[in-house]
Amino acid sequence: MCAALYAIGSYVTAYIPSPWGAGQFRPAVIIPSFFAVIFGPLPAGLGAALGTLIVDSAKHGYLYPGSYLAAVPGNFIGFYLFGYITRKKFTWGRFVLASNVTLTLANAIVAVLYVLVFKILYLGQASYVNLSPDALMFFIIGLTIWWFVTMLPFVLLVTPFLIKAAAAAFPAIVPNDVRTISLKEETPRKPFSIAMLVPGVIMLLIGLMVSYTDLGVRMAEFSAFQEPTLTLITYMFYISGAILTALGLFTWRAPSIEKA
């Protein structure tokens, strides 16, 4: 179920790329996040790995090497860890921790494997092979950041509602501690707000640095970051930062996420 739902949900946005020209917009990460909390590490990890392989292969029309070399291991490790963190003793604080740790680690793994293993070792693609180590690092970090900031709001704002709905509608399949906390405790607004405010402010600061310091000049030196790509990357930092900051402020001021 996790693999099928994740594949279907991911396919809906499969053709929305990142400003870097690689990677897709994927709010469907709410699905393995939900399965990690309700069913534990292994169903979530296997479901995410198989689901991403299905959607990537369907998008490209064949068993896509970039998926099983990069996306599959990253998704498995990330959402297995998500389930491990929340399964031991569920609290909303652990959920916030799992969201941030999982999305950072999983996306970093996918980005590193995609660039170094798939593009360079497997394909030997000249546009990547010829990049300097600094340019490769910028590209890997950029992919990781873009995935993180486009996934985090969905996981933090949508998944808790799914967990609460499952606890109310199907209490027998929900672990006791998850059911008790999700039905009896409001989702705390401050941890969720901080979890979005901090990366949001960081994104805005990076955008300002790209625009007004030597960081933008250094990025422009690399062939992978020439116009209009550099402009899109700068917009990515500003827009992502503004959205995360706005969501963080909104949830901070709201009486609770449920009421908001």
Cα 50 to chain centroid distance, Å, stands at 17
% of the chain surpassing 70 pLDDT? 90
Residue 113 and residue 3: Cα distance in Å, rounded?
A: 21
**Contact call for residues 216 and 126 (beta carbons, < 8 A):** no
Most confident of 13-17, 42-46, 233-237: 42-46
pLDDT value at residue 259: 45
**Contact call for residues 249 and 198 (beta carbons, < 8 A):** no
Q: Which residue has the tokens 């625009």?
A: 211
Residue 70 and residue 61: Cα distance in Å, rounded?
A: 18
Beta strands in 108-147 (DSSP E): none
Phi, psi of 239 (to 5 degrees): -65, -45
Statement: 2-186 belongs to CATH 2.60.40: no
Per-residue pLDDT tens over the stretch 32-69: 999 999 999 999 999 999 999 999 999 999 999 999 99
- Which residues, in sequence order, are bridge partners of residue 24? 17
**Res. 240: pLDDT tops 50:** yes
The residue among 211 and 105 whose pLDDT is bigger is 105
pLDDT value at residue 132: 79
Q: Find all residues with CB under 8 Å of 146, minimum gap 6, and list them.
A: 18, 19, 20, 23, 236, 240
Per-residue pLDDT tens over the stretch 127-185: 788 877 877 888 888 889 889 988 998 999 899 999 999 999 999 999 999 998 887 77
Phi, psi of 132 (to 5 degrees): -75, 160
pTM over 0.75: yes
**Contact call for residues 54 and 3 (beta carbons, < 8 A):** yes
**Contact call for residues 222 and 228 (beta carbons, < 8 A):** no
pLDDT value at residue 226: 60
